[in-house]
């Protein structure tokens, strides 16, 4: 059994939306009350309150406030658990010498939603195609909400728990499925061995010279985003029109994010499906997109340019592509090889003679002064990582990887990571979100 997560979009009618809203408010109230109790007990009596003490009060709360009954006891417990987890991680970080912020009271508007931690109090029914119905609550409080979205695991997948969340005035249900190992496996249609280099000019470049263009969703929408933000800046802060524009800005960001996620899902799926070996380098988008601002005493250079580059680096979603490749490769039985970027330096290394050829970011073509090998920069690095993948195992490959092994540069021990996994290894929880937004 494995766990997979899928997200469906909900289409509640007005009455259902109002009730979901009200339930969220009650959960928020419970959360804040539990937080206050913990703070008070500590201030007045130096006493810490445990999760179980708070859980044991729930029946009393339901007796005093019958509106809590419809929420389901396990969902209420889960909200208390959420607070407890927050406290645990707070104290863990304090112990580790960090300075975490203390738990804050939350406004109902900002409270994201609530969770049913087990298959009780709700039922999810798929009706073929993309339609589904989510049934919540029981008795008079029961409601059947229309939902849209589909997962690929078939009937054997059993929903285990759900989280309802509200984002930009839309409701989503995130479902954890328990899926038999066999149903997780992906069909592979090819046995290629490919190196791939992710970049900004082309989103991906393969060692055979094939490229996938970078759609640049964010850059396309920047003028519209800027126009909305300018409009909002002219409104009085906190006014109705200010808020209305804020919602439009949030929606635009959401749409950009949806398109980006959709693209990355499709392309990573295709890569994994076609390849038996897929080599790329370890990336650190966080380090790559570090600000050039510097400090007051030592201001950085070309800060605006770097900010623009950073925006593109983050928008290209490498941070999203890698985890997706990792879990999809596992499901398809593809060997995913991640070269150690610092040691191998794929963009500087020559794929033909393995010498280092230093280049600036602006130099798009690799011309080797040692052996004369010439290739587009990204293609060269894709070839380098593929050779690296080949060098770290004994079996001969095909294509570029089958070439005679270049002399290795003995620059310390290279410790690249190789994930080689048949489709049926048990694995930790993976996330897979469906394209649930119309
Ligand atoms: Zn060379």
Dist. CA 273 → ligand 1 center (Å): 32
Dist. CA 275 → ligand 1 center (Å): 27
Using alpha carbons, select from 219, 221, 249, 377 the residue that is nearest to residue 312. 219
Dist. CA 200 → ligand 1 center (Å): 25
**What is the b/e burial string over 15-37, where b = at least 16 CB atoms within 10 angstroms of the residue's CB?**
ebbebbeebbebbbbbbbbbbee
Using alpha carbons, select from 316, 273, 205 the residue that is nearest to residue 423. 273
Q: Is the pLDDT of residue 234 over 90?
A: yes
**CA–CA separation, 76 and 170 (whole Å):** 22
pLDDT in tens, 323-348: 889 889 888 888 888 888 888 888 88
Dist. CA 409 → ligand 1 center (Å): 13
Mean pLDDT rounded to a whole number for the chain: 83
Dist. CA 367 → ligand 1 center (Å): 8
Instruction: Give the per-residue pLDDT at 289.
Output: 66
Instruction: Give the per-residue pLDDT at 424.
Output: 39
Dist. CA 349 → ligand 1 center (Å): 8
pLDDT in tens, 73-125: 899 999 999 999 999 999 999 999 888 888 889 998 889 899 999 988 899 88
Structure tokens at 356: 């280092």
User: Looking at per-residue confidence, does 422 or 367 come out higher?
Assistant: 367
Dist. CA 300 → ligand 1 center (Å): 34
In Å, what is the CA distance from 271 to each residue of 275, 280, 414? 6, 12, 26
Dist. CA 339 → ligand 1 center (Å): 19
Dist. CA 404 → ligand 1 center (Å): 14
Mean pLDDT of 44-65: 91
Helix axes 240-274, 217-233, angle to 10 degrees: 170
SS3 content of the chain, % helix, strand, coil (to 5): 45, 20, 35
Dist. CA 357 → ligand 1 center (Å): 8
**CA–CA separation, 172 and 170 (whole Å):** 7
pLDDT in tens, 372-427: 888 999 899 999 999 888 887 643 333 333 333 444 443 444 445 555 444 433 33
């Amino acid at each position: 059994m494995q766990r997979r997560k899928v997200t469906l979009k909900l289409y509640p009618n007005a009455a259902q939306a109002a009730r979901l809203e009200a339930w969220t408010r009650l959960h928020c109230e419970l959360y804040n009350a539990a937080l206050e109790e913990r703070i008070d007990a500590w201030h007045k009596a130096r006493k810490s309150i445990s999760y179980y003490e708070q859980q044991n009060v729930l029946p009393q709360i339901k007796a005093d406030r019958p509106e809590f009954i419809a929420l389901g006891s396990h969902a209420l417990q889960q909200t208390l658990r959420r607070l407890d987890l927050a406290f645990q991680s707070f104290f863990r970080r304090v112990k580790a010498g960090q300075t975490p912020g203390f738990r804050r009271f939350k406004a109902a508007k900002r409270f994201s939603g609530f969770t049913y931690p087990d298959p009780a109090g709700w039922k999810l029914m798929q009706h073929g195609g993309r339609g589904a119905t989510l049934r919540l609550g029981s008795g008079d409080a029961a409601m059947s909400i229309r939902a849209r979205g589909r997962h690929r695991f078939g009937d054997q997948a059993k929903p285990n728990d759900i989280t309802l969340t509200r984002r930009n005035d839309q409701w989503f249900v995130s479902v954890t499925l328990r899926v038999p190992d066999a149903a997780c496996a992906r069909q592979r249609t090819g046995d290629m061995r490919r190196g791939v280099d992710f970049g900004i000019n082309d989103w991906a470049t393969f060692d055979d010279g094939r490229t996938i263009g970078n759609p640049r969703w964010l850059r396309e929408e920047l003028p519209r985003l800027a126009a909305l933000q300018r409009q909002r800046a002219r409104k009085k802060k906190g006014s109705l029109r200010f808020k209305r524009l804020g919602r439009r800005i949030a929606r635009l960001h959401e749409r950009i994010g949806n398109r980006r996620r959709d693209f990355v899902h499709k392309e990573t799926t295709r890569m994994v499906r076609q390849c038996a070996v897929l080599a790329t380098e370890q990336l650190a988008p966080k380090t790559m997109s570090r600000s050039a601002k510097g400090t007051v005493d030592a201001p950085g250079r070309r800060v605006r340019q770097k900010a623009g580059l950073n925006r593109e680096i983050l928008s290209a979603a490498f941070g999203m592509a890698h985890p997706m490749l990792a879990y999809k490769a596992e499901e398809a039985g593809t060997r995913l090889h991640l070269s150690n970027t610092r040691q191998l330096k794929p963009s500087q290394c020559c794929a033909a003679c393995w010498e280092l050829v230093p280049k600036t970011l602006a130099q798009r073509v690799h011309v080797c002064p040692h052996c004369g090998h010439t290739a587009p920069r990204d293609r060269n690095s894709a070839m380098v990582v593929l050779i690296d993948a080949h060098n770290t195992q004994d079996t001969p490959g095909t294509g570029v990887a089958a070439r005679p092994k270049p002399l290795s540069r003995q620059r310390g021990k290279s410790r690249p990571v190789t994930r080689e996994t048949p489709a049926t290894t048990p694995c930790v929880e993976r996330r897979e979100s469906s394209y649930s937004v119309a």
